[in-house]
Structure 1
Amino acid sequence: MNTQRPIGALRALAVFAIGLVMLIVSSLAAAAQGRPDTFADLVDQVSGAVVNITTNTTVAASAPGPNRGNPLEDFFEEFRDRNNQGRPERPSRRGSALGSGFVISEDGYIVTNNHVIENADEILIEFFSGEELPAELVGTDPNTDIALLKVDSAKPLPFVPFGDSDVMRTGDWVMAMGNPLGQGFSVSAGIVSARERELQGAYDDYIQTDAAINRGNSGGPLFNLDGEVIGVNTAILSPNGGSIGIGFAMSSNVVTNVVDQLQEFGETRRGWLGVRIQDVDPELAEALGLESANGALVTDVPDGPAKEAGILPRDVIVTFDGTDIENTRELVRTVGNAPVDKAVRVIVFRDGEEQTLLVTLGRREEAEAAVPASAQQPSQPSSVELMGMTVSDLTDELRAQLGLDTDASGLVVADIDPDSSAYTKGLRAGDLIEEAGQVRVETIRQLEDRLAEAREAGQKSFLLLIRRGGDPRFVALALDDE
Structure 2
Amino acid sequence: MKKIGLTLLTAFMGGALALGAYKVIESKYADNMSFEEKQKVYFTSNKTAPVVSSTGSLDFTEAAAAVTPAVVHIRTTYSNPADAGQNPLEQMFGDMFGQRMPQRGPQMASGSGVIISTDGYIVTNNHVVEKADKITVATNDHRTLDAKVIGTDPSTDLALIKVNAADLPIVKLGNSDDVRVGEWVLAVGNPFNLNSTVTAGIISAKGRNIGIIGSENNDDDNPFGRTRTQQAQPKLNKAIESFIQTDAAINPGNSGGALVNTKGELIGINAAIASHTGSYEGYGFAIPVNLAKKVLNDIKKYGTVKRGFVGVSFRELNPDIAKDLGINNTTGLYVADLVPGGGAEQAGIKKGDIINKVEGVPVYESSDLQERVGRLQPGDKINISVLRDGKEKNFAVTLKADATPNRTAAVSKSAEELFNKLGASFQPLTPAQKAKFHVNSGVLVTQVRPGRVFDNFEIPVGSIITSINKTPINSVADIDKAITNLRNGNVVISGYYPDGTNFSNMFQVQ
Structure 1 length as normaliser, TM-score? 0.58
Could you tell me which residue of structure 1 aligns to residue 56 of structure 2?
34
Could you tell me which residue of structure 1 aligns to residue 172 of structure 2?
161
> How far apart are residue 357 of structure 1 and its match?
4.4
- Larger Rg: 1 or 2? 1
1:52 aligns with 2:73: yes
CA distance in 2, matches of 1:207, 1:317: 23
| Residues 33/64 of structure 1: CA separation in 2 closer, same or farther (3 Å cut) | closer
Aligned partner (choices 84, 98, 105) of residue 117 of structure 2: 105
1:216 aligns with 2:253: yes
| Residues 365/168 of structure 1: CA separation in 2 closer, same or farther (3 Å cut) | farther
CA distance in 2, matches of 1:131, 1:104: 17
1:176–1:222 Cα contact (<8 Å) kept: yes
| Residues 41/276 of structure 1: CA separation in 2 closer, same or farther (3 Å cut) | closer
1:194 aligns with 2:205: yes
Aligned partner (choices 134, 140, 144) of residue 132 of structure 1: 144
SS at match of 1:135: strand
Q: Which runs of 5+ in 2 are unaligned?
A: 1-52, 214-238, 407-510
2:158–2:292 Cα contact (<8 Å) kept: yes
| Residues 244/365 of structure 1: CA separation in 2 closer, same or farther (3 Å cut) | farther
1:314 aligns with 2:352: yes
Could you tell me which residue of structure 2 aligns to residue 114 of structure 1?
126
2:200–2:249 Cα contact (<8 Å) kept: yes
CA distance in 2, matches of 1:126, 1:192: 29
1:264 aligns with 2:310: no
CA distance in 2, matches of 1:331, 1:99: 30
% identical equivalent positions: 40
Structure 2 counterpart of 1:363, which letter?
A
SS at match of 1:111: strand
Post-superposition CA distance 1:125-147 (Å, at most 9, x none): 11111122211211111122111
CA distance in 1, matches of 2:331, 2:274: 31
Could you tell me which residue of structure 2 aligns to residue 298 of structure 1?
335
Matches within 5 A, 1:138-177: 138-153=150-165, 155-177=166-188
Structure 2 counterpart of 1:340, which letter?
P
Post-superposition CA distance 1:35-62 (Å, at most 9, x none): 424x333332222211111112112479
1:289–1:352 Cα contact (<8 Å) kept: no
CA distance in 1, matches of 2:367, 2:83: 40
1:65–1:95 Cα contact (<8 Å) kept: no
| Residues 357/226 of structure 1: CA separation in 2 closer, same or farther (3 Å cut) | closer
Post-superposition CA distance 1:427-476 (Å, at most 9, x none): xxxxxxxxxxxxxxxxxxxxxxxxxxxxxxxxxxxxxxxxxxxxxxxxxx
CA distance in 2, matches of 1:73, 1:232: 23
Structure 2 counterpart of 1:361, which letter?
L
CA distance in 1, matches of 2:371, 2:351: 21
Aligned residues between the structures: 319
Structure 1 counterpart of 2:269, which letter?
V
Structure 2 counterpart of 1:162, which letter?
L
Higher relative contact order (CA 8 A, sep 6+): 2
> How far apart are residue 314 of structure 1 and its match?
2.0
> How far apart are residue 232 of structure 1 and its match?
1.2
1:179 aligns with 2:229: no
> How far apart are residue 234 of structure 1 and its match?
1.4
| Residues 148/276 of structure 1: CA separation in 2 closer, same or farther (3 Å cut) | same
Q: Which runs of 5+ in 1 are unaligned?
A: 1-30, 78-92, 369-482
2:136–2:144 Cα contact (<8 Å) kept: yes
> How far apart are residue 304 of structure 1 and its match?
2.7
2:186–2:248 Cα contact (<8 Å) kept: yes
Structure 2 length as normaliser, TM-score? 0.55
Post-superposition CA distance 1:178-231 (Å, at most 9, x none): 211112222222222333322214522222223222111111101211111112
CA distance in 1, matches of 2:276, 2:149: 33
2:54–2:262 Cα contact (<8 Å) kept: no
1:295–1:327 Cα contact (<8 Å) kept: yes
1:43 aligns with 2:64: yes
1:334 aligns with 2:393: no
2:317–2:331 Cα contact (<8 Å) kept: yes
